[in-house]
């Protein structure tokens, strides 16, 4: 877990989010997040609407993957085509 330094930014305190953490969370420059203190810990959450949209997109992706299982094209499965493309 990366360690960061709390710094001063005007009259507020700021924490820089390392690029690998931001990428893993899907954060982008300028995105609004929610922040609160919970039992002495600082909790930062992506905006609830964007998080819900991301969950819906991930569920749709999982459904597409499930529906594509067993689908063939000219007798080849999608997996066969992927493996053939790697040769």
34 touches 47 (CB < 8 A)? yes
Q: What is the pLDDT of residue 41?
A: 94
Q: What is the pLDDT of residue 28?
A: 85
Residues 39 and 54 occupy one common structural domain: no
Which CATH number belongs to the domain containing residue 28 in this structure? 2.10.260.10
Element (DSSP H or E) covering residue 67: helix 48-68
Helices (H), the chain: 19-25, 48-68, 78-85
Residues 28 and 10 occupy one common structural domain: yes
Residues 13 and 32 occupy one common structural domain: yes
Number of domains making up the chain:
2
Query: Structural domain of residue 13, as residue ranges?
Result: 6-46
Residues 40 and 54 occupy one common structural domain: no
Classify residue 65: in a domain, yes or no.
yes
Q: Which range among 7-11, 25-29, 63-67, 72-76 shows the weakest confidence by mean pLDDT?
A: 72-76
**13-50: pLDDT as tens digits:** 999 999 999 988 888 888 888 899 999 999 998 877 77
How many angstroms separate the CA atoms of 87 and 15, rounded? 46
How many angstroms separate the CA atoms of 62 and 42, rounded? 32
pTM (predicted TM-score): 0.50
Classify residue 63: in a domain, yes or no.
yes
Check whether 60 has a pLDDT greater than 80: yes
Residues 55 and 70 occupy one common structural domain: yes
């Amino acid at each position: 877990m990366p360690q960061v330094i709390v710094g001063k930014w005007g009259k507020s305190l700021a924490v820089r989010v390392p690029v690998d953490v931001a990428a893993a969370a899907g954060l982008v420059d300028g995105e609004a997040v929610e922040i609160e203190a919970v039992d002495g810990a600082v909790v930062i959450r992506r905006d609830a609407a964007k998080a819900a949209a991301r969950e819906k997109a991930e569920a749709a992706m999982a459904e597409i993957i499930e529906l594509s299982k067993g689908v063939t094209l000219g007798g080849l499965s999608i997996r066969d085509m992927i493996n053939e493309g790697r040769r």
